[in-house]
Structure 1
Amino acid sequence: MSSPAVPKAHGTAARQGEGTPASLLEIRSRENPQFKELRRLAQENGAYRRQGRIWIEGEHLCRAALARGWQPAQLVMSEQGAAMAAALGLDASVPRLLLADALWSQLSALGSPAGFACVLALPATPALDPLAATVVLDRLQDAGNVGSILRSAGAFGFRQVLALAGTAALWSPKVLRAGMGAHFGLRLIEAAGEDAVATLQVPLVATSSHQGEWLHAAAPPYPCAWLMGHEGQGVSPALQARAGLHIRIAQPGGEESLNVAAAAAICLHASAPRP
């Protein structure tokens, strides 16, 4: 998606010359239209869908994307963060946007702003692989839980995540931060209907807090599709009815239930292929 033109009246000047990147813009006014769009992208959960691009802030996420072959559409940096951003070693053809430090503090949603971010093109939704080891997210609301589950999925060999409608936006800034770079190695399908689950040809395994086999005594298959449900309501009855195996986790300490992200990590590890 192309960025809007930026008139000098809004405090932007282009700087270009020998040894400088092909495109370098400087913004010092919060009224600048590009700045306003970036602030929405960095702070609003659904802005990536409207703008067709993704905001990833800080060295860890940027390097995780680069390591997986993702190429930034733009590098955005504060004055203080410019030197650290240069250490990424991006090609000079990547457009740069330099923000005054005072603007960066209004843009960043981090408690300790990193000073630079990469803007990536939002990838097209991939086709569902019916035979892939999959994690199905059924209306999970909390961005931290969703991002944590994506990390576990990547760690334990579940390369496809099917997020049903009502689940927290997968490419939102909060989910991206919680995912810690896992996004860039996963096949992510979001806002899907329950009918998409029916196309999976691997065994469906539903988590439950009150029914099914004990995980420590079961032998969950791999590949399979783990169904992880809403934080309060669990997996929907309709999806429970589709599952061929129901699993619960023993809790000898006596707690009523586990956080869904913790339960997902335990379940995915239990069925992951062994080295």
Structure 2
Amino acid sequence: MIQAQPIHSAANPLVKDLRRLAQDAGAYRKQGRVWLEGDHLCRAALQRGVLPQLAVFADSLWGTEGHNWPLGGTRVVTVPDELFRSLSGLESPARMGFVLALPQPPAVAAQAPTVVLDRLQDAGNVGSILRSAAALGFTQVLALRGTAGLWSPKVLRAGMGAHFGLSLLEGLALDALAPLAVPMLATSSHQGEFLHRARLPWPCAWLMGHEGQGVSPELAARAGQWVRIAQPGGEESLNVAAAAAICLHASAVGALTSG
């Protein structure tokens, strides 16, 4: 039987740290810890063999569901439901969360199917791209400086557990891409072959740029192939997360059919 430590005070130092982790997009870097909130994210971590340093439950959930969680020797704390709501970053608090150690960044894998994120600002876009990458066989995501924090709470929620199936590096300078030995591809609204007609290399690295400015000129210069996404509806451009999903899917299908 897991013994949980009850905490009742909003002034407790741990509660203050949890509130920062849950509500401040940059707190994970300062604390070296990551906050996962909700059943889906926490189970996604456990399914990948990632054990939390700490599990936090609202009293109402711990009393009914706590015994269902395979937490081993993980430290567990419980807090009143109102206190959990005060630290949560969600409009509808999920009543439980995990604290994980911030993963150490791996080395760049030269031959890995890769997505490069260049100064993407919107956390929802970043998380959605991570989700598409994990689903479509891209195993590495490299985020250049200026991109929303990969382990921030909003990106984690949008990623829906994809983080735990990917090799993630963030805060990179452009020179950090030097070890990549796969072809780099980029999209454009005015140059390159249409995506549905193009022969796509595999593995490869897709370059996804800033929502308004696109890929920087310095990064664009490294692209060996440009493609356009057909837009028969006539809109000027696609949301970057939608464009990424289309491009990654085209690569995945190409890899399957050529193999």
TM-score, length-scaled by structure 1: 0.90
Post-superposition CA distance 1:72-111 (Å, at most 9, x none):
11110111121334322221x2111111111111111222
Post-superposition CA distance 1:55-84 (Å, at most 9, x none):
111111011111111011111011112133
* Residue number in structure 2 paired with 1:144: 124
1:128 aligns with 2:111: no
**Segment drifting more, 145-154 vs 100-109:** 100-109
* Residue number in structure 2 paired with 1:87: 68
What does 1:44-123 align with in structure 2 at a 5 Å threshold?
44-82=24-62, 83-91=64-72, 93-123=73-103
1:166 alignment partner AA: G
Distance 2:246 2:153 in 1: 26
Post-superposition CA distance 1:210-269 (Å, at most 9, x none):
221110110111100000000000011111111110111010101000000000000000
Cα displacement (A) at 1:198? 2.6
TM-score, length-scaled by structure 2: 0.95
* Residue number in structure 1 paired with 2:202: 222
2:233 alignment partner AA: G
What does 1:6-21 align with in structure 2 at a 5 Å threshold?
19-21=1-3
Cα displacement (A) at 1:20? 4.2
Distance 1:214 1:256 in 2: 15
1:269 aligns with 2:249: yes
1:274 alignment partner AA: L
- Rg (Cα) greater in structure: 1
1:255 aligns with 2:209: no
If each structure's helix is expressed as a fraction of its own residues, which one has the higher value? 2
Distance 2:192 2:179 in 1: 24
CA 269–208 in structure 1, closer or farther in 2 if over 3 Å, else same: same
RMSD across aligned C-alpha pairs, in angstroms?
A: 1.1
Runs of 5+ consecutive residues of structure 2 not aligned to the other structure: none
Post-superposition CA distance 1:111-135 (Å, at most 9, x none):
2211111111111011100111100
Post-superposition CA distance 1:191-220 (Å, at most 9, x none):
001112232100010122222111011011
Distance 1:20 1:211 in 2: 60
Distance 1:209 1:69 in 2: 42
1:164 aligns with 2:152: no
* Residue number in structure 1 paired with 2:224: 244
Distance 2:211 2:93 in 1: 30
Runs of 4+ off more than 2 Å: 83-86
Distance 1:20 1:203 in 2: 50
CA 127–179 in structure 1, closer or farther in 2 if over 3 Å, else same: same
Runs of 5+ consecutive residues of structure 1 not aligned to the other structure: 1-18
1:153 alignment partner AA: A
Distance 2:103 2:200 in 1: 32
* Residue number in structure 2 paired with 1:3: none
Distance 1:106 1:154 in 2: 32
CA contact 1:208–1:235 (8 Å) conserved in 2: no
